[in-house]
Amino acid sequence: MAINDIHTPVLLERCVELLGPALERPGAVLVDATLGMGGHAEAFLQRFPGLTLVGLDRDLDALAIAEERLKPFRDRIHLVHTIYDGIQDALAGLGITEVSGVLFDLGVSSLQLDRVERGFSYSKDAPLDMRMDNTSDLTAERILATYSEQELRRIFHEYGEEKLAARYAKAIVEARETTPFVRSAQLVAVITAVTPVVVQRAGHPAKRVFQALRIEVNQELAVLERAIPASLDAVSVGGRIVVMAYQSLEDRIVKKLLAKASSSSAPAGLPVELPEHKPLFKLLIRGAEMASEDEKAMNPRATSVRLRAAERLRRAA
């Protein structure tokens, strides 16, 4: 199967439109902080012949696929195995001091969702893995075996925004006393058994628990809290950042950090805003931009996307 048949980049044209003005400059460098299978990267390299691309990903399988896909551009790409909060170290290792653009396409990738054995899906039985980087140690199986009832309740509540977090944590701790959790179907069965029928009618009962486990395994929110400021620091004057998030917890972090970067630092009540207090960035979009109905129909993975973007106005004094 061709790579384009299993991977349609989300909001590709809008990303090109937003990042384009910064990438047309001589010597432009774009960091694709979530390279995945290289769909966005390929399009940018095709459309901007002078562009150098730095692709980051924690998933070795994704890097291998992207490397093959981007072979025609091998002289203009640098692929780095790292989590995206390692952007500064990755750029330093390449001798790059600042970049023209940064693109984030957050969340679980098409590759990770479509490969059942990775264990990300609650709808298909698989080992309870959920690692985006299979060289890391923490898995969903280990969390379910070792976390206390209180710890499980916390991550289900905080990362899954699950109203039945306490009930699910209690059921898991009780069940593991007789049978360890090793397969996703086991976890789904335990969750379903203690979920009221009326709640099940509203959606799959395991959806939020699986989201919470995935976030905990990969430390996604903590990494994002570090990655956005690090990326903003790397963007040159006139450079741009585009971030696509797919769930409210991620989008909340992105919104907060971009708002801070695009706000004046002047003390309240100051009659005149001094130059050193002027915002470092300006927002390119009011609020979060959603996919059109046409885009959602063409690419179902765009259904929940929230896109935000900003441009650097100046460097800090």
Binding site per annotation, positions for S-adenosyl-L-methionine: 38-40, 57, 84, 105, 112
Cα dist from 227 to 34, 75, 131, 154, 167, whole Å: 11, 27, 19, 24, 34
The continuous run of DSSP H or E covering 188 comes out as helix 184-193
Residue 78 backbone phi and psi in degrees, to 5: -135, 115
Identify the CA nearest to 308 among candidates 268, 238, 250, 235: 250
Identify the CA nearest to 194 among candidates 213, 177, 209, 179: 209
Per DSSP, what are the bridge partners of residue 311?
240, 282
Q: Which residues are annotated as a binding site?
A: 38-40, 57, 84, 105, 112
> How would DSSP label each residue in 63-97?
HHHHHHHTGGGGGGEEEEES-GGGHHHHHHHTT--
- Whole-angstrom distance, CA of residue 224 vs CA of residue 75: 30
